[in-house]
Amino acid sequence: MEEAYILLDLTLVILTAKVLEELMSRIKQPPLLGDLMAGILIGPTVFGLIKVTDNVKAIGWLGVVLLIFLAGLETNIEDLRKYSKPAILVAIGGVFATFSMAYIASIFLGYSWYTSLFIAVILAPTSVSVTVATLMELNMLRTKIGETVIGAAVADDIYAMILFGLVYSLLTGGSHIYQVSWIIAGLAVLASIFILLKKYSAGIMRILIGKSRLADAPYTHVLIVGLTIATMTAFFKLSPIVGAYFAGLALSPLLRSHHLESYYRLLVEFISPFFFVYAGLLLDPWSALVGLNLSKALETALVIVVIGVLGKVLGCGIAAKLSGFDARSSITVGIAMMPRAGVDLVIAVTGLSLGVLSMELYFSVLMLIYITSFTTPVLIKILLKRE
């Protein structure tokens, strides 16, 4: 009968996720917030119907690696081409301001240097799907503001991943000369692979696919390369998540040249709800400090949300102003860069499993995701409609 319960769990996950996705899309919110909510509802936070066992964690972690590879793969570097200068500036401004403000605030909240570094990395990236949907609704996606934000979001994920890779190595690598040189060797190998992949992937793939008799050759070969690199990264004690992301990024031109977009889109659509439900399941306020010390948890959440919002609005806003946007447009760009719910959540989940992130910090990240997602469209509409 144990097997029947696994099936029950799976059915419960999909059913709850889809009902709440439906609800979210009716209030014009991204479906993934529904998935996250589903995890919070059926997980230990509310009903406690599903237990996050070690098995679930292992599968969840595998899903995260796969998903981040797909995120890299689906990144269109071309999005950075037009208005690349303002986009890169906006990204750097946002990442720098948020990272440093978050680090300082966490130290003041009494967290250790490594937890503070970790939370700073989590707040650094942006997830602009809410912004993109809002701009599309206003028919303003293909404006200078729209293109800059899309480009900045691409650059911003890349910077956040580099930062995450460095912080991860700092936390898990150890300080012995042997350990450090092993990590440096790993970085060198990874960087060489990245450069070689970017340069020769098209040629290698042409040979592999040309010689293959399998119908699924182009899809699977891309996936195998990504998984192999992620595995190598893990054995160099670097984060496999970083390896998977950059492998995806290096291979991303193949997606367009081999017309694989729709295949990978389906794969992402199939896997990604499970990741967000899983992220919701991981919230467990009662077994952790949050339940015992509610005021501390709320105080932390308040600080994290304010820093997460201000870091982007100020950092990106000032950078936009310096790139020649007028004041109102600069604020709009800053607000457009506020939302989270992508790479940030992946890093937060990794932080939990490393034991670096405490439950009230995880709770704060989820709060930041919901608050920015709900407020960004409203604020963008006010700012752009008055124009």
In this chain, which of 78, 137, 216, 326 binds a second copy, going by CB under 8 A?
216
Site string for a second copy, 258-287 (x = CB under 8 A): -----x--xx-xx-----------------
**Strand, helix or coil at 370?**
helix
Contact assessment for residue 365 and residue 344, using Cβ atoms and an 8 Å cutoff: yes
In the chain the beta strands, taken as DSSP E runs, fall at none
Smallest distance, a second copy to C-beta of residue 158, A? 22
Instruction: Answer yes or no whether residue 357 interacts with a second copy by CB under 8 A.
Output: no
Query: How far is it, in rounded angstroms, from Cα 225 to Cα 271?
Result: 19
Binding of a second copy at residue 387 (CB under 8 A)? no
Among 32, 36, 41, 65, binds a second copy (CB under 8 A): 65
With a CB cutoff of 8 Å and minimum separation 6, the contacts of 320 are 86, 89, 90, 93, 148, 329, 330, 333, 334
Q: How far apart are CA 316 and CA 153, in angstroms?
A: 11
Give the count of residues interacting with a second copy (CB under 8 A).
Answer: 45
Binding of a second copy by 26 (CB under 8 A): yes
Phi, psi dihedral angles at 126 (to 5 degrees): -125, 155
292 binds a second copy (CB under 8 A): no
- What string of DSSP letters covers 54-78? HHHHHHHHHHHHHHHHHHHHH--GG
Q: Which residues are within 8 A (CB) of 112 and not within 5 positions of it... i.e. 6 or more apart?
A: none
Among 30, 31, 285, 308, binds a second copy (CB under 8 A): 31
Considering beta carbons, is residue 215 or 385 the nearer one to a second copy? 215
Alpha helices in 282-293 (DSSP H): 289-292
Residue 231 is a binding residue for a second copy (CB under 8 A): yes
Q: Among 77, 140, 187, 234, indicate the residue that binds a second copy (CB under 8 A).
A: 234
Min dist. Cβ of residue 237 to a second copy (A): 8
Q: What distance in Å separates the CA atoms of residue 243 and residue 305, rounded to the nearest whole number?
A: 29
The reply on whether position 136 binds a second copy by CB under 8 A is: no
Task: Decide: is 55 part of the binding site for a second copy (CB under 8 A).
Answer: yes
Q: Which positions touch a second copy (CB under 8 A)?
A: 1, 3-4, 6-8, 10-11, 14-15, 18, 21-22, 25-26, 31, 54-55, 58-59, 61-62, 65, 212-216, 220-221, 223-224, 227-228, 230-231, 234-235, 240, 263, 266-267, 269-270, 353
